[in-house]
Amino acid sequence: MIQIRRRLCLLKIICFSGVAGLLAFSNSGRPEKALPVFKDGEAQIVKRFEDPDFWIRHDLWVETESDLDKDGRLDRVHVAVTRPRQTDTEDLKLPVVYVTSPYFAGTAPDAQDTMWSPRQELGEEPPKRTKSNQIERKGERPIISKSHAKTWVPRGYIVVHSSSPGTGLSQGCPTIGGINEALAPKAVVQWLTGRASGFTTPDGQEKVEAYWSTGKVGMTGTSFNGTLPLAAATTGVEGLEAIIPIAPNTSYYHYYRSNGLVRHPGGFIGEDIDCLFDFVNSGNPEKRELCDCAIRDEEMIKSFDRKNGDYNDFWAGRDYLNQLDNLKAATLMAHAFNDWNVQPEHSVRIYEALKKKGVPVQAYFHQGGHGGEPPLKQMNRWFTRYLHGVVNDVENDPKSWIVREGAKREEPTSYHDYPNPAARPVEFFLSQGAPEKGGMNIQKGEKPGKETLVDNFSFDGISLAKAEWTKHRLIYTTPILKQPVHLSGTSTIKIRLASSKPAANLSVWMVSLPWNDKKKALITDNIITRGWADPQNYRSIRKGERLKPGKFYDMTFDLQPDDQVIPAGQQIGLMIFSSDREFTLWPDPGTELTVDLGATSITLPIVGGLDGWKKSQTDKVEEPKEEKAEEKKPSNPTGGPNSGRMWFNSDDEVLPLRFDH
């Protein structure tokens, strides 16, 4: 057994080098030990931990519980460590911030021709897809990634990275949500707590100890890198005290399907779970063919049901909501309400479940796109409390922090909870107006009637929402708002419709009109929320039924959760259409959907409920009565990703937003 240490002479060099700040001395003349420093419940930057030239970096391999590459030996994952020099020279033990990813070693080219074709007739076998190119591994040992080190090492943490199974120098196979992707970080946490074995090489028997670890571990990351902390926490592994998942994919069904419908991540038409597998399969080239066959071809493509889009056991096994029984790590969720890649329901569903379990939990939401970590102050307080054990009362802070429209990301407003406790459901009914705009009111019309739209995927959703007259969508609007309306929670549509064909896409958008066409307009200016469903799954998402043309069916489903203030002067609009060019399959145009307006309504979560809505229709200005905690505004943001093609982590290391699911 070995310990990774520098030569003893290095200590002499440090002691007598004369470099300012490297050592402090007590009154006795002896050098004082470097220790973490805390102020106002946060870990502070310690001068002696700050210089990267005095950090120790080394790598190793940790043995897991899986053998997916079928070589008769348990798979080992590649792990890299970055820690202050004092963990050797002064026998200092520190907690760990741990980040794991399938992307650190490189990814396949982002090419549309490697995806599934969206030109697929509903209910029929999909056209064959072209496989992706091979991946050339990037990165040099011992550094897997530099992310998070500049943020956390100077504040008295050790930063650990690992490559997911079947990626980089880690053994095994990627499974995109399979159990091995939870067991791998579990093993690393166990190694950090002395309960698993680490080795100097992927195949040797020379062991490495984490003698510098206190045994307290926190995990974080964005998108796929944010999914894996949740996956690890579901194992209940001892030592994983806190997680901060940012824009995590908590269910691969909810990522690639919606209420029985085949649906793609926003911006990536034709992607399915096997495409993501190909994108990250960067491990040993000699093992890739085995992984392709055993995982992608035999497990994924045979089980994911791209023909019907139904929920099944394959998807249930990749839904972390089903695996929360053992989770006990304090959880700070972070997500954007306008993330159309990994949509906000992914975090909201976990947040709500953890509240019921009694696990310490908070949520940070902003109004931007994919990614965006909480302010550093908020993350620092979380890790300080649960990794260093400093009592800073963070568990009694407000549960919900929301960046209001136009505010800076690092200045969220605090609320007692999400949804806003003052929000109440208000039902709106529809009146005729096609092919122009119909009405949307809290009173039910006497003769609402039926209206028909004609599917045509050639028109995108924004074009349909902006159109004054079109047969390719139905749209219904409220009266113009005289006062702002605050929506907080999940909108639900109840719809009765008939299709001219045995299968059809169904897409629903909530929009704010008129459309803002200015150069600097944001998607948040007009798209409130969206939802999709397969009418064939009106009974259950597990089993669809072919529709009888012309027969009316009733179904109810949720749109994506939101928290947004719609300004005065706007109208809230409900748009119903069929194929959503950005998200659904593209069947041949011509399918007709007829909506029975008398049996169709939309329920909105309005702060203040019906009274709140009525006030929006008057000229009288009143302060909104929201159940809101005293406002607190964390500061010192670490910066964060946006909805562009690339995102930057806290240390400006570029990673691919596109596939950082």
**Active-site choice (272, 278, 339, 455):** 339
According to the model, what pLDDT value does residue 644 have?
29
| Residue 315's pLDDT band (cuts 50, 70, 90) | very high
| CA dist., res. 408 & res. 565, Å (int) | 16
Take residue 228 and report the two structure tokens written for it. Answer: 């894996």
- Tell me the sheet residues that pair with 564: 487
Q: Regarding beta strands 24-25 and 31-32, do their DSSP bridges make them parallel or antiparallel, or are they unpaired?
A: antiparallel
585 CB contacts (<8 Å, ≥6 apart)?
118, 119, 120, 122, 262, 505, 579
According to the model, what pLDDT value does residue 437 have?
97
Are 9-307 and 423-616 in the same CATH fold?
A: no
Q: What is the dihedral of CA 270, 271, 272, 277, to 10 degrees?
A: 140
Quickly count helices (H) and strands (E) in the chain. Answer: 15, 33
Structure confidence by residue, pLDDT tens digits, 423-458: 999 999 999 999 999 999 999 988 889 999 999 999
According to the model, what pLDDT value does residue 266 have?
93
Active site residue 223: yes
According to the model, what pLDDT value does residue 21 have?
41
- The conformational region for residue 388 under phi > 0 = left, psi -120 to 50 = alpha, else beta, is alpha
Whether 12 has a pLDDT exceeding 80, the answer reads no
- Percentage of the chain with pLDDT > 70? 88
According to the model, what pLDDT value does residue 29 have?
54
| Average of per-residue pLDDT across 408-430 | 98
CATH topology of domain 423-616: Jelly Rolls (2.60.120)
The continuous run of DSSP H or E covering 61 comes out as strand 55-63
Which has the minimum average pLDDT: 255-264, 530-539, 625-634? Answer: 625-634
CATH for 9-307 (2.30.230, 2.40.128, 2.20.25, 3.40.50): 3.40.50
| 3-class state of residue 656 by DSSP | strand
Domain edges within the chain: 9-307, 423-616
According to the model, what pLDDT value does residue 132 have?
65
Contact 23/31 with Cβ under 8 angstroms? yes
According to the model, what pLDDT value does residue 131 have?
74
Q: What is the dihedral of CA 545, 549, 553, 557, to 10 degrees?
A: 70
Structure confidence by residue, pLDDT tens digits, 550-573: 999 999 999 999 999 999 999 999
Query: Between residues 129 and 631, which one has the greater pLDDT?
Result: 129
| Average of per-residue pLDDT across 532-538 | 98
According to the model, what pLDDT value does residue 52 have?
97
| CA dist., res. 544 & res. 524, Å (int) | 33
| Average of per-residue pLDDT across 173-180 | 97
Take residue 2 and report the two structure tokens written for it. Answer: 């070995």
| Residue 137's pLDDT band (cuts 50, 70, 90) | confident
| CA dist., res. 425 & res. 605, Å (int) | 5
According to the model, what pLDDT value does residue 433 have?
96
Whether 649 has a pLDDT exceeding 60, the answer reads no
- Tell me the sheet residues that pair with 435: none
**Active-site choice (148, 335, 366, 370):** 370
Q: Write down the mean pLDDT value for the chain.
A: 90
**Active-site choice (147, 213, 223, 347):** 223
489 CB contacts (<8 Å, ≥6 apart)?
418, 419, 420, 423, 561, 562, 563, 605
Structure confidence by residue, pLDDT tens digits, 20-68: 344 554 455 556 889 999 999 999 999 999 999 999 999 999 999 999 9
Structure confidence by residue, pLDDT tens digits, 352-363: 999 999 999 999
| CA dist., res. 461 & res. 478, Å (int) | 19
Query: Between residues 255 and 519, which one has the greater pLDDT?
Result: 255
| Average of per-residue pLDDT across 78-85 | 98
- Percentage of the chain with pLDDT > 90? 82
Whether 655 has a pLDDT exceeding 70, the answer reads no
Active site residue 458: no
